[in-house]
Structure 1
Amino acid sequence: MSNKSTRCSACKYLRRKCSEDCILAPHFPATDPERFVHVHKIFGAGNVSRMLQKLPYNEREVAANSISYEAYLRVQDPVYGIAGTITNLQEEIHRKQQELVRIKAEIAIYTAGNL
């Protein structure tokens, strides 16, 4: 990645040369600069690099995706971030479970009345 025109989005944003062994390059391609901007704003480039370096190579992509998603949601909702999304989904599941119980009860009443 030493060519200036092929720098990853992290190195472009940080205005530095992108080395062949840049740990951020596989996860922050030049084609998606906003992904790194969110990550850098929330976690910082150094912290993300250290986190990825501590992981086995085969786990880095999943970690980078998780970090990116958390950063994106934290930018969207600075107070709750991903916790707000999880809470909303849990509430939705609870509402759907209650609806399912209600519908099953209605079906049981309808079935009992038609015997």
Structure 2
Amino acid sequence: MAGSGSSGSGSSSAPCASCKLLRRRCTQECVFAPYFPPEDPHKFAIVHKVFGASNVSKMLQELPAQQRADAVSSLVYEANARMRDPVYGCVGAISYLQQQVSQLQMQLALAKAEILLCVQMQHDGHATASASPPSLQRQQQQLMESEAYGSLLMQNGLMNSTGAHQQQMLGSAGNTALMLQEACLKKESLWA
């Protein structure tokens, strides 16, 4: 079974990465050969280390031929993720990216609220205190929308302990907008 010679059976002259690593003869029926070429031994080595050759072989044999390439790509991706993060693997990477997206959405919402507030204040010109109730209502509506966004994240299971902190920050975003509005009104009253 030590068939790592240069003249292997079948059409290929070298055994696939799997057979080379496992030190066995690579045949034409080898389930690994189409997906683990000899010139990329690391690809199979990492999959073998995480999942085991027999498990990968069983998975590939149970799948239709047209789905095997996608399955191998997924196995390689997950194996690489498991090597970086043995506990969470791909889920850890996905969770991290979702948290980044949530933080960026929150920052974008804050930036939009600040821009809206500044444009509104410039548009109002020298507004008096009587003009503040509609603005206050708008700010309260934005606060409710940010809280609704936080509850939507919780319903979708996207919020963990970091997400709870983000919801706190979303709530404080509305408070920050209200404080910005009050500060702008105070500045205008000083200049009026």
Q: Which amino acid aligns with 1:2?
A: S
Question: Paired residue for 1:42?
Answer: 50
CA distance in 2, matches of 1:55, 1:100: 44
Structure 1-normalised TM-score?
A: 0.90
Match of 1:94 in 2: 102
Kindly indicate whether residue 58 of structure 2 is the aligned counterpart of residue 74 of structure 1: no
**Match in the other structure for 2:158:** none
Aligned length: 115
Q: Percent identity?
A: 46
Structure 2: give runs of 5+ residues left out of the alignment. 1-7, 124-192
Q: Which runs of 4+ in 1 moved over 6 A?
A: none
Which amino acid in 2 is paired with 1:36?
Answer: F
Identify the match of residue 2 of structure 1 among 1, 9, 14: 9
Report which of the two structures shows the higher radius of gyration computed on alpha carbons: 2
Shift of 1:65: 0.5
**Is the deviation greater in 80-89 or in 40-49?**
80-89
Counterpart check, 1:25 vs 2:33: yes
**Structure 2 partner of 1:58:** 66
Displacement of 1:5: 4.2
If asked which structure has higher relative contact order (CA below 8 Å, sep 6+), I would say: 1
Shift of 1:72: 1.2
In structure 1, distance between residues paired with 2:77 and 2:119: 46
* AA in 1 matched with 2:105: Q
CA distance in 2, matches of 1:14, 1:110: 67
RMSD of aligned C-alpha atoms? 1.6
- Tell me how far apart the structure 2 counterparts of residues 100 and 62 of structure 1 sit (CA, whole Å): 36
Question: Helix, strand or coil: the match of 1:6?
Answer: coil
